[in-house]
Structure 1
Amino acid sequence: MSQAIQETSSYRVLFEAFAEVLRGREPAWMTRLREGAFERFEKLGFPTTDDEEWKYTNVAPIARHNFHPAQGMIDARLLDPFLQGEADQKSRLVFVNGAYRPDLSTLELPEGVVAADLRESLAGEHELLLRRHLAGSGEYEMDAFRSLNTAFMDGGALLFIPKGVRVETPIRLLFLSAPASEDAASFPRVVVVAERESEATIIESYAGVEGAPTYLTNAVVQVTVGEGARLTHYKVQDEGARAFHIGATRADVGRGSFYDLTTITLGAQLSRHGIEVVLDEEGAECAVDGLYLVGTGQHADTHSLIDHRKAHCTSRQNYKGILDGKSRAVFNGRVFVHKDAQQTDAVQSNKNLLLSPEARVDTKPQLEIYADDVKCAHGATVGQLEEEELFYLLSRGLHMELARNLLTYGFAEEIVEKIKIDSIRAQLDGAILNRLGARLEA
């Protein structure tokens, strides 16, 4: 028996039981989609470090666990810390262990805007919209984790912003994990459709309750940005210390539109975020930025593809990493410029700050260009705090640890200042300060 079969065979029984529960409760096309995705998962098996895309991230710890779909509710009082202080977020959908919690959700949205549970949407008036974006996406063919998500997706959200509508307040999707037992898994799928000339801000957050056992979040997000639309998208990953988080985001960006993605990686023992932005019509623009803050025992992997398919498109990518203790980070950013994508303007940057001699980062920015009239640049740095800057602060009377902490925060400030949502900026400030405080106590 091959290793791939050994690693995936335990999911066959789970899938058959899961499919039986859903039989008759969802459209036939969805059943076929699940079955095809699971067959693809069995064929692919979990990726190994022999796969170029996973060369620096070993998912064997995930493959060794017998994860099962999370079940059961939880005392809402345990969730209070995650639901307070959200004054700037009047519209939110809350999911606990993969299940939608309408009792914890609030919606104040303009007429025509849809923010709904994926399961309810499949059985309701939005089935055709979801079929167009789910059945036609081919997401499950990409890799084993996307296949597994498609096979088991049950919770998640549909966000639809109609033509010409501007949503003034952010829409938050909050995915909380509070598993009652080891090896629970959730498979959220989010579908976002911003029609022509619309505008909205989305916050996609993941968190685990304190002391949560080992669990897996395997999330896929599909975004469509229509002509002339503007979509701002924040992803904040602050899973529990024993969690695994595998995420994938795909955005198709239309003519003259702008997609602005900022990702913040704070939690999980092992995390991976695969990002694909397709600039498929002239004049499309994107900004893809992020910060990963990792400490001892953490491994954070970011893979991105900015796919320039048509002329006169612009992309900006700026990622920063702060690594402390015995930690590991991976950044692989690829900009692909097709032959017809003349007058492309693309810039990519990855900078990393190592606060410990045991921290390690593998960074690989890539440009693949097949057009001859382009303006493209990329670069990566890995280093420690600048001695000259430290000396300057020390000469002004600051003690060493305070000087180091100020410089560390200053390194992250470019990403922090970009965030326009007060609660996210405060969360990130707190995470950086807590990490620096832990260094002071060590």
Structure 2
Amino acid sequence: MTETEFKQWFINNFQNFEKNLNGEKTSSFHLIRKDALSKFSSLNVPTTKDEEWKYTSISPLVKHSFNVIPPKVEIASELVGKFLFDQLEHHLMVFVNGEFRKDLSKLDELPQTVEVTSLSNAIKNNHPALLNHFGKYAEDSNNLFTALNSAYTKDGAFILIPKGKVVEDPIHIIFINKAENESLVTQPRNLFIAEENSQLTIIEHYASDDEGIYFSNSVTEIYLGENTFVDHIKLQEESKKAFHIARMEVDQERNSNFSSHMISTGAVFSRNEFTTRFNGEGGESMLNGLFMIDGEQFFDAHTMIDHAKPYCNSHEHYKGILEDKARGVFNGKVMVRPDAQKTNAFQENNTILLSDDAVMNSKPQLEIFADDVKCSHGATVGKLNEEAKFYLKSRGIGEEAATAMLIHAFASDVITTIKIEALRDYLEKIITQKFNQ
């Protein structure tokens, strides 16, 4: 299948998708879908000739004809339990093949007036907040995969935290894909709205327990009102035959605080686009990431921090560990606009290559149009510190154990910024198992 045929596949299958909406194609929201499909039709499939996709070829993805209507599958609660990291002390939303499963979820102890529901339910009820925020941040006029997601939007997580509300326990959202013998595509659409003086922790978790071929094309929009704190963790534990393209757009008002932690071990092909914008003074943003890939896996992180207002701080640190013939890309941009005086921005990317065949392309960028700022960026790509390894071996520690200890120390820098202790332990276990410590 060529790039043109790949695009035409989704255009031709849109009518089948409409028939699966249970009469919803007469709703006002469906006009948004049809408009997005029109934009999708007019956009070109990205190639390595496009600057933003210079090191990222989607040719492995376009070879597949994905079923746009994922089959309904039954899964046991024990499978969900494999991806939990505590004794269900948090709020839980479970999606299976893109569809919300109330029977596997746990949302019965939320604070009054806090709304946590499926996007399909918000669409059905014409929720005013949905209509006000949907597509406002993840604009789809110039992004093919966002337009595709908007056109095929059916379900996802919808969270609304009213003014002054604090949700103390994390909300854990698990997207489980089970392809079995069929190539399928799921297109989760998430909208998280935190109004002024509210607080929220979200875990966005993509997982699979089989090695099926599927394509997850997700879009997450997050709005932070004034004096709001949102902590967002994204985990990617997917099939080594899966494709994952995701976009997260964050809009921050005055004195809001946003932190992001991205941990990825899964998917044969993965691209994550993160953008956060400061719309008021005094905002803070932290983007941390850790990707650990091997075999012929590919991981791409494209980030953008938009300092549009003065007196804002941002801190970004992405780390990668690549084995075998794995390939990684980090393209991080910090934009400081003319009026954004007193900006403080830090950006760094560090990568360890554990084999001669692993490849990393790193491109940290600063675009500064203000003169009273403090900004720095940097990148390192290399092998493990031989001196440190020699020191450990001189203390009687074997080669493999010394290597595993150094890798664990390198990765733990990102893990320790996560505030949820049970989740830190869960991730530490993943690192330990992966590198045989």
Check whether TM > 0.5.
yes
Letter in 2 for 1:411: F
The question of 1:162 aligning with 2:175 is answered no
TM-score of the two chains, using structure 2 as the length reference: 0.96
State the Cα distance separating 1:369 from its structure 2 match.
Answer: 0.6
- The equivalences for 1:267-282 within 5 A come to 267-282=266-281
What's the secondary structure of 1:48's corresponding residue? Answer: coil
Q: Note the alpha carbon deviations across 1:251-284, whole angstroms, 9 max, x for none.
A: 0011001001110111000000000000111111
RMSD, aligned CA: 1.7
- The equivalences for 1:219-368 within 5 A come to 219-368=218-367
- Structure 1 segments, 4+ long, off by >4 Å, are none
User: Do the aligned partners of residues 78 and 242 (structure 1) sit closer, same or farther apart at CA in structure 2, a change above 3 Å counting?
Assistant: farther
- The equivalences for 1:15-26 within 5 A come to 15-22=14-21, 24-25=23-24
Residues 27, 122 of structure 1: 8 Å contact kept = no
Letter in 2 for 1:314: N
State the Cα distance separating 1:424 from its structure 2 match.
Answer: 2.6
Q: Note the alpha carbon deviations across 1:7-37, whole angstroms, 9 max, x for none.
A: 2111122112212333742674321211121
Q: Tell me how far apart the structure 2 counterparts of residues 296 and 4 of structure 1 sit (CA, whole Å).
A: 25
Tell me the residue number matched to 1:114: 115
Tell me the residue number matched to 2:196: 196
User: Do the aligned partners of residues 392 and 220 (structure 1) sit closer, same or farther apart at CA in structure 2, a change above 3 Å counting?
Assistant: same
Tell me the residue number matched to 1:420: 419
Letter in 2 for 1:33: I
Residues 354, 382 of structure 1: 8 Å contact kept = yes
Q: Tell me how far apart the structure 1 counterparts of residues 148 and 174 of structure 2 sit (CA, whole Å).
A: 21
Tell me the residue number matched to 1:42: 41
Q: Note the alpha carbon deviations across 1:30-55, whole angstroms, 9 max, x for none.
A: 21211121122222132111111111
Letter in 2 for 1:148: L
Q: Tell me how far apart the structure 2 counterparts of residues 250 and 136 of structure 1 sit (CA, whole Å).
A: 9
What's the secondary structure of 1:22's corresponding residue? Answer: coil
Q: Note the alpha carbon deviations across 1:158-177, whole angstroms, 9 max, x for none.
A: 11111111111001111001
Residues 137, 250 of structure 2: 8 Å contact kept = no
Residues 138, 249 of structure 2: 8 Å contact kept = no
Tell me the residue number matched to 2:139: 139
State the Cα distance separating 1:181 from its structure 2 match.
Answer: 3.1
Q: How many residues align?
A: 435
Tell me the residue number matched to 1:73: 73
User: Do the aligned partners of residues 185 and 15 (structure 1) sit closer, same or farther apart at CA in structure 2, a change above 3 Å counting?
Assistant: same
State the Cα distance separating 1:426 from its structure 2 match.
Answer: 2.8
Q: Note the alpha carbon deviations across 1:59-90, whole angstroms, 9 max, x for none.
A: 11111211122121223256244355532643
Tell me the residue number matched to 1:388: 387
Q: Tell me how far apart the structure 2 counterparts of residues 45 and 14 of structure 1 sit (CA, whole Å).
A: 18
The question of 1:182 aligning with 2:187 is answered no
User: Do the aligned partners of residues 185 and 423 (structure 1) sit closer, same or farther apart at CA in structure 2, a change above 3 Å counting?
Assistant: farther
What's the secondary structure of 1:267's corresponding residue? Answer: coil
Greater mean deviation of Cα atoms: 51-60 or 67-76: 67-76
Q: Tell me how far apart the structure 1 counterparts of residues 435 and 311 of structure 2 sit (CA, whole Å).
A: 43
Residues 46, 63 of structure 1: 8 Å contact kept = no
Residues 158, 192 of structure 1: 8 Å contact kept = yes
Q: Tell me how far apart the structure 2 counterparts of residues 196 and 224 of structure 1 sit (CA, whole Å).
A: 10
Q: Tell me how far apart the structure 2 counterparts of residues 161 and 102 of structure 1 sit (CA, whole Å).
A: 20
Letter in 2 for 1:328: R
State the Cα distance separating 1:296 from its structure 2 match.
Answer: 1.0
Q: Tell me how far apart the structure 2 counterparts of residues 356 and 157 of structure 1 sit (CA, whole Å).
A: 39
Q: Tell me how far apart the structure 2 counterparts of residues 428 and 85 of structure 1 sit (CA, whole Å).
A: 9
User: Do the aligned partners of residues 59 and 401 (structure 1) sit closer, same or farther apart at CA in structure 2, a change above 3 Å counting?
Assistant: same
Tell me the residue number matched to 1:130: 130
State the Cα distance separating 1:371 from its structure 2 match.
Answer: 0.7
Residues 88, 421 of structure 1: 8 Å contact kept = no
Letter in 2 for 1:273: N
Q: Tell me how far apart the structure 2 counterparts of residues 34 and 92 of structure 1 sit (CA, whole Å).
A: 28
Greater mean deviation of Cα atoms: 174-183 or 26-35: 26-35
Residues 49, 58 of structure 1: 8 Å contact kept = yes
State the Cα distance separating 1:139 from its structure 2 match.
Answer: 2.1
Tell me the residue number matched to 1:205: 205
Q: Tell me how far apart the structure 2 counterparts of residues 236 and 371 of structure 1 sit (CA, whole Å).
A: 36
Residues 227, 255 of structure 1: 8 Å contact kept = yes
What's the secondary structure of 1:10's corresponding residue? Answer: helix
What's the secondary structure of 1:141's corresponding residue? Answer: coil
Greater mean deviation of Cα atoms: 238-247 or 7-16: 7-16
Q: Tell me how far apart the structure 2 counterparts of residues 347 and 188 of structure 1 sit (CA, whole Å).
A: 31
User: Do the aligned partners of residues 84 and 198 (structure 1) sit closer, same or farther apart at CA in structure 2, a change above 3 Å counting?
Assistant: closer
Tell me the residue number matched to 1:404: 403
What's the secondary structure of 1:173's corresponding residue? Answer: strand
Q: Percent identity?
A: 38
State the Cα distance separating 1:313 from its structure 2 match.
Answer: 0.8
User: Do the aligned partners of residues 236 and 27 (structure 1) sit closer, same or farther apart at CA in structure 2, a change above 3 Å counting?
Assistant: farther
User: Do the aligned partners of residues 19 and 137 (structure 1) sit closer, same or farther apart at CA in structure 2, a change above 3 Å counting?
Assistant: farther
Greater mean deviation of Cα atoms: 282-291 or 20-29: 20-29
Residues 138, 219 of structure 2: 8 Å contact kept = no
Residues 205, 234 of structure 2: 8 Å contact kept = yes
What's the secondary structure of 1:331's corresponding residue? Answer: strand
Q: Tell me how far apart the structure 2 counterparts of residues 275 and 243 of structure 1 sit (CA, whole Å).
A: 20
Gap runs ≥5 in structure 1: none
Q: Note the alpha carbon deviations across 1:90-114, whole angstroms, 9 max, x for none.
A: 3111000001000000012111111
What's the secondary structure of 2:29's corresponding residue? Answer: helix
State the Cα distance separating 1:346 from its structure 2 match.
Answer: 0.3
Q: Tell me how far apart the structure 1 counterparts of residues 185 and 347 of structure 2 sit (CA, whole Å).
A: 34
TM-score of the two chains, using structure 1 as the length reference: 0.95
Residues 89, 172 of structure 1: 8 Å contact kept = no
- The equivalences for 1:367-378 within 5 A come to 367-378=366-377
